[in-house]
Amino acid sequence: MRLTIEQVSRRFKRRQALEAIDCELTPGIYGLIGPNGAGKTTLMRILADVLRPSSGQVAANGTPTATLGERYRDLLGYLPQELGFYSYFTGERFMRYMAYLKGMSGAQAEGRITALLRLVHLEDQRSRKIGHYSGGMKRRLGIAQALLNDPQLLILDEPTAGLDPKERIRLRNLLSDISGERIVLLSTHIITDIEYIAKEVLLLKEGRLARQDTPERILSELTGKVWEVETPAERLGELERAHLVGNVQRRGSDVRARVIAEARPAGNAMPAEPRLEDIYLYYFGDLPEEGGS
The structural domains of the chain, with segments of one domain joined by +, span: 3-219, 224-273
Looking at residues 219-236, what average pLDDT do you find? Answer: 92
Quote the pLDDT of residue 291: 47
Judge whether residue 89 has pLDDT over 70: yes
Instruction: Say whether pLDDT at 286 is over 70.
Output: no
Closest-CA residue to 186 (of 33, 48, 21)? 33
pLDDT digits (tens, 9 = 90+) for 187-206: 988 888 888 899 999 999 99
- pLDDT score of 8 more than 50: yes
Residue 67: pLDDT over 70: yes
What is the pTM for the complete model shown?
Answer: 0.89
**pLDDT higher at 173 or 131:** 131
Q: Do the bridges between strand 200-205 and strand 183-187 make them parallel or antiparallel, or are there none, so unpaired?
A: unpaired
Report domain 3-219's class. Answer: alpha beta
* Residues making up the chain, counted from first to last: 293
Per-residue pLDDT tens for 134-189? Answer: 988 998 999 999 999 999 999 999 898 878 888 888 888 888 888 888 999 999 88
Within the chain, residue ranges assigned H as helices are 40-47, 65-68, 70-73, 91-101, 106-119, 135-146, 165-178, 192-195, 215-220, 236-242, 276-284
pLDDT in tens, 96-116: 999 999 999 888 899 999 999
H or E stretch including 79? strand 76-79
Taken in order 96, 101, 102, 106, the sign of the CA dihedral is positive
Share of the chain above pLDDT 90, in %: 68
134 C-beta neighbours (distance < 10 Å), count: 12
Structure confidence at residue 165 (pLDDT): 86
Q: Is the pLDDT of residue 268 over 90?
A: no
